[in-house]
Amino acid sequence: MVGREFGIGVRHAIEQTKMTHREIARMLDWDESKLSDLVRGKGGVSEAEVLQLLAFCRVPPTEVRRLLALFRETRETGYLQIPEDGVPDLVRSLVEQERLANVITVWSMNLIPGRLQTADYMQALLAGLARSKAVNYDEVIAARLARRELFHWSREFVFFVHEQALRLPVGGLDVMKDQLLHLLAMAQRSYISLRIVPIAIGAHAGLGGSFMQLKYEKFEPVIYLEGEKSSLFLEDKASLTTYTEVLKLLDRQALDEEQSKELINSILI
């Protein structure tokens, strides 16, 4: 995942020069294959060579620092990000990876998943959290709402949600009623699957915490974990295996789509 994001950044830098890969490789005295591997996020280059290319492309200093950080992270099994404003929703990496993914699976244990939240639910949720003067919360809500643009029939979305998230009274009765009605409306879309894990089953596979799995057509999956002020991307085989098993168990423990809608309707009555 980190390699792909690094490659995307390098590709953007090259595109801004209006030059072909062959022209740039010739001027840097590189093999063209080396430049192609760099754009695809593969290895085979040193940090000094990365700096040489970015300097040639006249990349701004802030972007150079970001790309170098990504390049260094390609040697790690996980990619931790701590945004300057402390708001994971605004992390550039997350937005870019969501746009690349063709299957997004979410497990949410305590709250309605972000993409399925109404604006009023978001407002009420943020009102109940510890606030930082450094964070523009209107911007946070706008960023969360903008992520709804990813909903499209060309992608597949699966949401596993614990029943307690449906019953947690965020914002009061009116806000929750609108939120549950919104869930039912979104669940009617053919490319969205909403599955509720009922309280009645007791202990369940998702007790380790909420997470998101992103799958791609041409790349290995990625697991995304979000904390209060940080986010973590995992792509090592051991983590992927563990979280894939969690999703398989949740698939067996959750109600099917129709039963899930019936449960939501029963709470609305």
CATH, domain range 79-268: 3.30.870
pLDDT, residue 251, reads: 97
CATH, domain range 2-76: 1.10.260.40
pLDDT, residue 213, reads: 96
DSSP 221: -
Element (H, E) at 267: helix 257-268
Question: Do 13 and 39 meet the contact criterion of CB atoms below 8 Å apart?
Answer: no
For the chain, which residues make up each domain, given as ranges?
A: 2-76, 79-268
Q: Kindly tell me the sign of the dihedral angle through the C-alpha atoms of 8, 226, 238, 253.
A: negative
Distance CA 223, CA 236 (A): 9
Q: Is 33 buried (19+), middle (13-18) or exposed (0-12) by CB count in 10 A?
A: exposed
pLDDT tens digits for the chain (269 residues)? 566 677 788 888 888 888 888 888 888 888 888 787 777 665 567 788 888 888 888 888 888 888 887 777 665 544 555 555 445 554 556 777 788 889 999 999 999 998 899 999 998 988 876 555 556 777 777 777 877 778 889 899 999 999 999 999 999 999 999 999 999 999 999 999 999 999 999 999 999 999 999 998 877 888 998 876 667 888 888 999 999 999 999 999 999 999 999 999 999 98
pLDDT, residue 266, reads: 96
Question: Do 19 and 53 meet the contact criterion of CB atoms below 8 Å apart?
Answer: no
pLDDT, residue 50, reads: 83
Q: Position of tokens 């449960």?
A: 263
Neighbours of 45 (CB within 10 A): 17
Q: What are phi and psi of 141, to 5 degrees?
A: -65, -40
Q: Position of tokens 């497990």?
A: 107
pLDDT, residue 36, reads: 78
pLDDT, residue 90, reads: 46
